[in-house]
Copies of this chain bind each other. A is one copy, B any other.
Amino acid sequence: MTNVRKTTLLEHALLGLLYQKPSSGYDLRKIFATTAMGSFSDSPGAIYPALRRLQTKGLVKSKAEAGSGRRRKIVSLTERGTTELQQWIMLPITHEDVMAGLRDLMLRFAFSEPVAGPGATVKLLQELRGALSAIVGGLRGQMDKLKSVMPLSAQLALESGIRGFDAQLQWAEYALAKYEQLGKEGSA
């Protein structure tokens, strides 16, 4: 029982970024603070402990940057870290995953192509499409049943959720088309 606690979303985000480029904690914080990944906290109280956890788990290693300038600790993936990242990305998508929020799924998707190849990306998209269309159907059913007993604002709030999922569904179709097109061009 080596008490392996499960890897959090923030930790996976860090793994994905470190896969692209070994970086310091400060670099990573800046990425969260300035880019579209801003939904993650850039607070040192989140990042540094997360990096330490990853190191204790053996998923990353760090060493002091050689040479001049300020003291910086450059963190990079270990082999096990790369494996963990790949496995996380390729996890099958469940109904619950989607209901819990697209955030996790989108992060996996964003890393999928460089880390696990376009084949994994396409597979993710297909699974996502399946899950989404089931969910949209189910919610539309709920909506029809409850229409009469809910206040308009609550009705519309539910409709907002449905539309959100539906937009993601259309997006998934669009993304799949892009990848299909890419495949044809590549083999031509």
- Which residues of A are interface residues toward B (Cβ below 8 A)? 36, 38-39, 99-102, 106-107, 109-114, 121, 139, 142, 151-154, 156-161, 163-164, 166-168, 170-171, 175, 178-179, 182
Q: Specify which of B107, B158, B168 is in contact with A164 (CB 8 Å cutoff).
A: B168
**Contact partner, A36, options B114, B139, B156, Cβ 8 Å:** B139
Known A-B contacts: A110-B158, A113-B154, A163-B167. Give 20 more (CB < 8 A).
Answer: A36-B142, A36-B161, A39-B99, A102-B160, A102-B164, A106-B157, A106-B161, A107-B157, A109-B156, A109-B157, A109-B160, A110-B153, A110-B157, A111-B153, A113-B152, A156-B171, A159-B175, A160-B168, A160-B171, A164-B164
